[in-house]
Every structure is written in structure tokens, then in C-alpha cells.
Amino acid sequence: MERARCLEMIYPELEDKLVVTIMGASAQELYNLGHRENFFYLQHAMGLASSIGLGLAMHLPAERVVVLDGDGSVLMNLGTFATLARYRPKNLIHMVFDNGSLLSTGGFDSHTTSGITDIAAIARGAGIEHVAAVDTAVGFGEAFIAALERNDLSVIVAKVAAVGPEHYGMDLQLPENAFRFRRWILDRKRAAGQAS
């Protein structure tokens, strides 16, 4: 299973969700499907996409938030699962694409490559109730639909091949992306009649 195909599968559903991705390959693959103003590509701050997602989900309970994470990034911020479990935002789906690799910086093995470190087990152990571990496209699609219908904190750990985009290059720098993302949120709040 390839992450790019997974993203393609869920892309239509992301139209009205706040989406936060890690940097590098994941960001590029989502961007390649077509940028939307509700997508925020967290450059540089490795490991913190789920923390940004948690903040958004707690602050914006009327929105659904989807975080696209990687195994290397999650391993850098393992405490995130305990924090997610404690605050348990119902409107957050945390996806971890486990390719066993630090792909975006040259493809070095991560701790999951050996099969010893089990990210889904860590998430469960941290206290997250709904954790799906999938390794097929069908399983991934089903887990995503279940998470959407569940309306509770959901973690999906998807085993994917260590392959990324053919080219890197996004015509959207972090500050511009952040300002536009924020504006999208404020416009939605105004349209819904909520104070900004």
C-alpha cells in the first residue's frame, strides 16, 4: 500500500476538514492532489503535527480535524498519544503513515522498520480507545469511514511502502499557508454566525 493512494482515496472527504500534515513527502503528496485553503503543511517542526491538530480540535469543536503524520515524526513526540488520550477531542482523526523510514530526509530506517516498535500498541497503551492498524487499501478506507462515523478521537496507523513523490516543490511557504489557513477558519466561523 502506498500513502499517495491512501491520500487520493480520502481526498474528497477532506474538502471541509481542517487538515494538518507533517513536512516533506506527506505534504507534497497531498499538495499534488490539489491544494485547498483548509490544508496546513507543518514545515520544520517535526513531531508536532498532532499537537497542532489537538489544539485546533479543542479550540474549534464545530470542525473536524485530520492529522497526517509519519512514524519518524510520531516517534519524536511519543507523549502526544498520552495527551490526546487525556483530552480526547471527539473531532480529531490522527493518521500515522508508517513507512518504517525517515523518507523525506533520505530514507533512513526508523524504529518501526524492524517490526519491534508497534505504534498502534503505543497509542492503545497511552489510553486511546479507537486505534486501527491497517495494511491494505480496503482496511484503510474502512478505518477512515469508521472514524468519520464514530465522532470520537480515532487513531489510524497505516503500514505503507517507503516511497514518496517524484518531485518536491510547493509554491506555498509556511507563513503564507498559515495566514490563509487561519483566514479559512475565520471565514467558516463567520459564515456559521460564530464570533471570530
Ligand X SMILES: Cc1ncc(C[n+]2csc(CCOP(=O)(O)OP(=O)(O)O)c2C)c(N)n1
Residues of this chain that interact with ligand X (CB under 6 A) are 22-26, 44, 46, 70-73, 99, 101-105, 110
* CA–CA gap between residue 112 and residue 116 (Å, rounded): 6
Cβ nearer to ligand X, comparing 102 with 123: 102
Residue in the shown chain whose Cβ atom is closest to ligand X: 70
Instruction: Give least dist CB 56 to ligand X, A.
Output: 19
Q: Are 38 and 184 in contact (CB under 8 A)?
A: yes
Q: Enumerate the H helices of the chain as residue ranges.
A: 3-10, 25-33, 49-59, 71-76, 79-87, 119-125, 137-150, 174-191
Cβ nearer to ligand X, comparing 38 with 104: 104
3-class secondary structure, 25: helix
Instruction: Give least dist CB 43 to ligand X, A.
Output: 8
Instruction: Give least dist CB 27 to ligand X, A.
Output: 9
Cβ nearer to ligand X, comparing 55 with 107: 107
Instruction: Give least dist CB 3 to ligand X, A.
Output: 7
- For β-strands 108-109 and 130-134, DSSP reports them as unpaired
- Cβ count near 83 (within 10 Å): 14
Cβ nearer to ligand X, comparing 44 with 167: 44
DSSP state of 127: T
